[in-house]
Amino acid sequence: MDVESAATFLVGSILICSGLIVSCLAIIFLNNIFAKFWKPVKFTILDPFKVHHNTRFIDESELQSKTDIKTTANNKGELK
- pTM for this entry: 0.45
Binning pLDDT at 50, 70 and 90, where does residue 9 land? Answer: very high
Q: What is the pLDDT, as a whole number, of residue 70?
A: 59
Q: What is the mean pLDDT of residues 8-29?
A: 96
Distance, CA of 47 to CA of 45 (rounded, Å): 7
Largest CA distance in the chain: 105
